[in-house]
Structure 1
Amino acid sequence: MELLSPFDLTSFQWFLMALCGMLIGMSKVGVPGVSMLVVPVLAFLFGGKQSTGVLLPILMMADLFGVGYYRRHAQWSYLVKILPWAFVGVGLALWVGEIVNDEQFKDLIAILVFVCIGLMLWKDRKKGQQVFPDKWWFAASMGLLGGFATMIGNVAGPIFAIYLLAMHLPKNNFIGTSAWFFLIINFFKFPLHILVWKTISWSSLTTNILTLPAIALGAFLGIWLVKNIPEKTYRAFVIIVTAASAFLLLI
């Protein structure tokens, strides 16, 4: 579908855009997994391929918040290992996105969401155990899969988290390295969305900019949630709602 301008969005669409902005803001301040819910919601609202262009600038604005706070904690040696493979994964997804129709694109997004939910659950189950190899081929495979997932559906978070777990990074280094990775990848994807997929326009960027207050509000809300809601309860809610949303994309 053609991307709507800010003036063409309905009240309900604006509500969902603001909600998605809040969730993205929350995800950048230590509330893991919540951004997964945004992907199927926007795909349902705008269509599979078009929704990736709607979401990307929101992620880029939120990435600036994350990098601004954790910029000194990145471990660049680990980024150098995975980024080239991630760029290849983005290129592969760019090609796939050109040969599938929108219904197939939404199916791909839904499948990737389910894969990432499975990785989140598996990661939680193996917490504290060394099950991730610190080998070049592991970085290559995670980079390819993460690059593909982030281009197709902006859902590479759990994949990159598994890669960083293999590196045994302290919390701040974990967050800082992740923040830089997604800032670089998302800014790399930006011109591809404009020139190849044509999913970003001046109208859509105006819509994205208007979600900035919601992103900031989400960041403050995320800080409060981290302090006051049990992590297990919160994560269970996010996983259930995200899985249900992804399932709707397959119907």
Structure 2
Amino acid sequence: MITLFSFQFTTADLLIFLLVAVFVGMSKTGVHGTGMVAVPLLASVFGGQLSSGIMLPMLCLADVMGVWYYHRHASWEHLKKLFPWAVIGTVFGTIVGGMIDDNIFRMIMAVIIVGSVIIMLWLERGHKEDIPDYKWFAGLTGTAGGFTSMVGNLAGSVMAVYFLSMRLPKNSFIGTTAWFFMVMNWFKVPFHVFAWHTITWNTFLLNLSALPLIAVGALIGIVIVKNIPEKLYRWFIIGMTLIAAIMMLV
């Protein structure tokens, strides 16, 4: 066993944790599906709710990198519609998340991700115009995004549905997503500290130790996004989302 900031790791568990750090960095510079794959990986080491609190500071650190690189491409018109509803979803997620066990956690997240994949495929088959840019859709998506982000850091699939349906180009998609998650992830920190007690001094030190690998992942993500065509990028997001759903169900 390997002891790191009071946590006991097997060699395999430590390698998973380090791989998660790389995936988190990649997710914040455009390879969004890797973030959804990272969630079940980390849950396999720490369990549901605790893994959510351990991952959050990693996400906050990586968010800064993503926003720094893509901040010019954000669509604030869409963000203003989403933020108030996402706050409501976060509060609701805090309440519900404190009452569920790991099995229910995995089931809820798997259902949400599978549903998101189905909608993404439906949109890609030529139905983008069937979801208008109405306030009710932003409200529904923002609430669902805040809830799933709080419960399991898995709002990536939900928000991908919204931003893909809004037909944002690749860089705008990445920049808008980066700003959304940076604001919401930092907003979630007090709930994890004072309500769930899943962020402590030891978990924060554990996160800091992973910072170099988060930076490596961020650089890898930038390279991938630069070299992937627009249409292939959209299918890549769908494919990685589907992999995350399968991992949650297994």
Taking the aligned partners of 1:60 and 1:123, their CA distance within structure 2 comes to 30
Q: Per the alignment, in what secondary structure is the counterpart of residue 67 of structure 1?
A: helix
Map 1:33-52 → 2, pairs under 5 A:
33-52=33-52
Taking the aligned partners of 1:126 and 1:35, their CA distance within structure 2 comes to 27
Q: Per the alignment, in what secondary structure is the counterpart of residue 99 of structure 1?
A: coil
2:139 corresponding residue in structure 1: 140
Taking the aligned partners of 1:22 and 1:115, their CA distance within structure 2 comes to 27
* Residue 49 (structure 1) shift: 1.0
* Residue 166 (structure 1) shift: 4.3
* Residue 235 (structure 1) shift: 5.6
User: Percent identity at matched positions?
Assistant: 41
1:16 corresponding residue in structure 2: 16
Gap change, CA 1:125 and 1:21, over 3 Å in 2 = farther
Gap change, CA 1:234 and 1:180, over 3 Å in 2 = closer
Q: TM-score scaled by structure 2?
A: 0.86
Q: Per the alignment, in what secondary structure is the counterpart of residue 155 of structure 1?
A: coil
Q: Per the alignment, in what secondary structure is the counterpart of residue 179 of structure 1?
A: helix
1:205 corresponding residue in structure 2: 204
- The C-alpha deviation readout for 1:70-97, integer Å capped at 9, x for no partner, is 2232222321111100110111111111
Q: Per the alignment, in what secondary structure is the counterpart of residue 8 of structure 1?
A: strand
Taking the aligned partners of 2:182 and 2:113, their CA distance within structure 1 comes to 21
Matched, 1:75 2:114: no
- The C-alpha deviation readout for 1:143-196, integer Å capped at 9, x for no partner, is 111111111111112322332344443433332221111001000001100100
Is the contact between residue 54 and residue 208 of structure 1 (CA under 8 Å) also seen in structure 2? yes
Taking the aligned partners of 1:67 and 1:236, their CA distance within structure 2 comes to 22
- CA RMSD in angstroms comes to 2.5
2:92 corresponding residue in structure 1: 92
Q: Per the alignment, in what secondary structure is the counterpart of residue 129 of structure 2?
A: coil
- The C-alpha deviation readout for 1:111-134, integer Å capped at 9, x for no partner, is 33333333443343347x422211
Matched, 1:28 2:3: no
* Residue 7 (structure 1) shift: 5.2
Matched, 1:163 2:162: yes
- How many residues get paired? 244
Gap change, CA 1:184 and 1:25, over 3 Å in 2 = same
Matched letter for residue 101 of structure 2: N
Gap change, CA 1:45 and 1:121, over 3 Å in 2 = farther
* Residue 223 (structure 1) shift: 3.6
Matched letter for residue 42 of structure 2: L
Q: Per the alignment, in what secondary structure is the counterpart of residue 8 of structure 2?
A: coil
Gap change, CA 1:45 and 1:124, over 3 Å in 2 = farther
Gap change, CA 1:61 and 1:198, over 3 Å in 2 = same
Matched letter for residue 109 of structure 1: M
2:183 corresponding residue in structure 1: 184
Gap change, CA 1:130 and 1:48, over 3 Å in 2 = same
* Residue 207 (structure 1) shift: 0.9
* Residue 58 (structure 1) shift: 1.1
Is the contact between residue 119 and residue 158 of structure 1 (CA under 8 Å) also seen in structure 2? no
Map 1:50-129 → 2, pairs under 5 A:
50-126=50-126, 129=128
Q: Which runs of 5+ in 1 are unaligned?
A: none
Matched letter for residue 245 of structure 1: M
Matched letter for residue 157 of structure 2: P
* Residue 232 (structure 1) shift: 8.4
2:195 corresponding residue in structure 1: 196
* Residue 30 (structure 1) shift: 2.2
Taking the aligned partners of 1:89 and 1:160, their CA distance within structure 2 comes to 13
Is the contact between residue 117 and residue 238 of structure 2 (CA under 8 Å) also seen in structure 1? no
* Residue 66 (structure 1) shift: 0.9
